[in-house]
A = this chain, B = another copy of it.
Amino acid sequence: MKKLTGAVLLVGSPQNMPDIRYATGFTAPDPVVFLQEGRKKHLVVSLLELERARRVTKNVTIWAAEALKIRGKFNRTLSGWTSGLLRQLEIRAVVVPPEFPIAVAEKLRQSGIRVRVSESTLFPQRQIKTDEELARIAECQRAAVQAMLAAVRHLALAHVDGKGFLRVDMNLVTSETIRALINKVLLDHHCMGQGTIVAGGPQAADPHEVGFGPLRYGESIVIDIFPQHLDHGYWGDLTRTVVKGAPSAALQKIYHAVKAAHAAALSMVKAGVTASRVHEAAVSVIRRRGFQNSVTDGKTQGFIHSTGHGVGLNIHEMPRVGLRSARLKTGNVITVEPGLYYREIGSVRIEDLIVVTPTGWKPLAVCEHFFQV
């Protein structure tokens, strides 16, 4: 925790606010109020959640909203819960995150509470993963590897029909069938895959397109698997790009450029290194191989995103690995995922999830590389 001039206040659904889950171990879809003053943590939940909150948290004082004894209808709102807690604890100044709900802030200010908006994250320690957190992320990443292997094996089994479509037995192999297969393996590992990407050919030129329809011979197929664990809520993140049959020479060139960029970026990773340099290493390999970013009619082509991002209780969290990024620290968990995206030729992304160490990095789980399957 950074030094703060007031108590840290968070209000909202823990499911959408990993800071609350991080600080307390408690999660729920319905909103709660969290307050931390020094090392003392408080959580206000509805009476319905009281016992569960007491059981799953450690060193957190749990308050039933209904027991905060605020007069009138006020105690039925989140503002009421918050005011009640602050009054109980005689707290007159709070620090809130940038995304704090404005209506609650305004109510607090009207009642004389000083509300300061923090410019940065209130839980920077989330970027340094503990051994327990690493074990949880590794669990998700192993699930992703198993799902990837199942998907690639299925594609390897496929044959090509007269129209260039992939089939297993008589059935078309589609983005949807491969995605269903992946999500099933994830579920076997108590993870869910929401938004699993299996995008073939031109579809993959849009890095967030999940993919749909039949997969074809000779086209690149980007498979991006990012499972969230159903119990503890940590994430994994893994991407491979494969092609069934013979890729064009241009697609091969793209694949090898991305693979080299991936290796170059990884070779830079070490505690103390500025994350921008990891990104620059990937960019530099890609440029040297003759690939440039371009935007035509609002359509982007080339290496159109940053090299990576942190992963933990959020799928995208700090630290960033891109332009103007900060120094890496031991215990950071980051993706390294350069990519090249071309509507005409195809797209390739290769992504691994690693933990930063004093001397380099370790993978959270190992997945071999494959291209032609």
Contact = CB atoms under 8 A, between A and B. Distances in A.
A62 to B, nearest CB: 9
Contacts of A298: 47, 50-51, 64, 67
Copies of the protein in its oligomer: 2
Contacts of A187: 180, 183-184, 187
Contacts of A192: 192, 194
Interface string A216-236: 000000000000001000000
Interface in A78-127: 96, 98-106, 115, 117, 119
13 contacts: A29-B195, A29-B316, A30-B316, A48-B207, A48-B208, A100-B101, A101-B102, A102-B105, A102-B115, A102-B117, A103-B119, A180-B187, A184-B187
A295 interface: yes
Nearest to A210: B231
A304 B47 contact: yes
Given A30-B316, A187-B184, A230-B194, A48 B102 contact: no
A58 interface: no
A305 interface: yes
Given A48-B206, A96-B102, A180-B190, 4 more contacts: A48-B300, A48-B305, A99-B103, A180-B187
A16 interface: yes
A49 interface: yes
Contact of A102 (B16, B67, B98, B305): B98
Contacts of A230: 183, 194
A363 interface: no
A299 interface: yes
Contacts of A304: 47-48
Contacts of A194: 192, 230
A291 B51 CA distance: 21
**Interface size bracket, A side:** 35 or more
Contacts of A135: none
A157 interface: no
Interface string A153-165: 0000000000000
Contacts of A299: 50-51
Top 8 nearest A-B pairs by Cβ distance?
A98-B103, A99-B101, A16-B16, A100-B102, A102-B102, A102-B105, A192-B192, A52-B206
Interface string A313-341: 00110000000000000000000000000
Nearest to A183: B187
Contacts of A117: 102-103, 106
A373 interface: no
Interface string A176-202: 000010011001001010110000000
Interface in A256-295: 295
A28 interface: yes
A331 to B, nearest CB: 24
Nearest to A104: B98
A352 B84 CA distance: 35
Nearest to A315: B29
A101 B208 CA distance: 25
Nearest to A186: B187
A12 interface: yes
A192 B190 CA distance: 12
A232 to B, nearest CB: 12
